[in-house]
Amino acid sequence: MEDSFDTKKLITMNLLLISNSTMAGGEYLSYPMPQIKKHLEGIKEIVFVPYAAVTFSYADYEKKVQNRFNEIGVKVHSIHRSKEPRKMILNAQAICVGGGNTFALIKKMQEQGLLEPILRKIKSDVPYLGWSAGSNVCCPTISTTNDMPIVQPLSFKAIGAIKFQINPHYLDANPEGHAGETREQRILEYIKANPKKWVVGLREGCMLKIQNGRIHLIGEKTMRLFKYGTVTRELGKDDDLSFLL
């Protein structure tokens, strides 16, 4: 795979990386739809990667996403129906990767050889949209996912379109009565083992928009930023996040 960390190459990316698909009590993909509509302006068809689905079929996942994308006039084509998935990616107007189990997702993507062609399309300014696991796989690795490793991928290596890690669904504390590690403690373990990596704790209801060499936080909450040897801090939608690119 080509090196994805060249700042000049990053300028052409057009990414929308969403923490979660559904807010508590809300409808599926309801809260991010205004941003998705803006992100896919002018797009009529999108290639969908459903491989994070585990307890329901890829066809059901495609239908679920299509029902929502009907609102913005975008036709969803799930890659699981193709005999030539790499070719389907290379011909895509836009790419969407849904959430679910990150290990199941990356395993199937690796097996089908999808990481390199998706990165190639991202570098050519083709819109990419992902939520939860679909945001995780844009990172260098999937090491900051919250998911259980229900299957074993070839490696933790992911698309690498961005050079920082994302922890979707970031929570500030554990549920009452639970004595296990907090999300922050798990991330502190990661940065201790990987001291050169930034990790963005992306809270639910938030997303990152990367376009024209700039990165913006969208949502009403701040994001939590971690790096070994650096004071953990909160950054909001008005803060300059360009150093992450």
DSSP string computed for 55-87: SS-HHHHHHHHHHHHGGGT-EEEEGGG-S-HHH
Token pair belonging to 101? 């189990």
132 noted as active-site residue: yes
One of 4, 19, 78, 132 is an active-site residue; which one? 132
The DSSP code for 243 is G
3-state helix, strand, coil in the chain (%, to 5): 30, 20, 50
CA distances for 44 relative to 67, 84, 104, 150, 220, angstroms? 15, 21, 28, 35, 29
172 noted as active-site residue: no
One of 147, 155, 178, 238 is an active-site residue; which one? 147
147 noted as active-site residue: yes
One of 77, 82, 169, 216 is an active-site residue; which one? 169
The DSSP code for 143 is T
Contacts of 139 (CB under 8 A, 6+ apart): 158, 159, 160, 162, 164, 165, 166
Provide the β-strand partners of residue 48.
78, 96
How far apart (Å, rounded) are the C-alpha atoms in residues 150 and 152? Answer: 7
How far apart (Å, rounded) are the C-alpha atoms in residues 28 and 104? Answer: 21
* Main-chain phi, psi angles of 133, to 5 degrees: -55, -30
Active site residues: 132, 147, 169
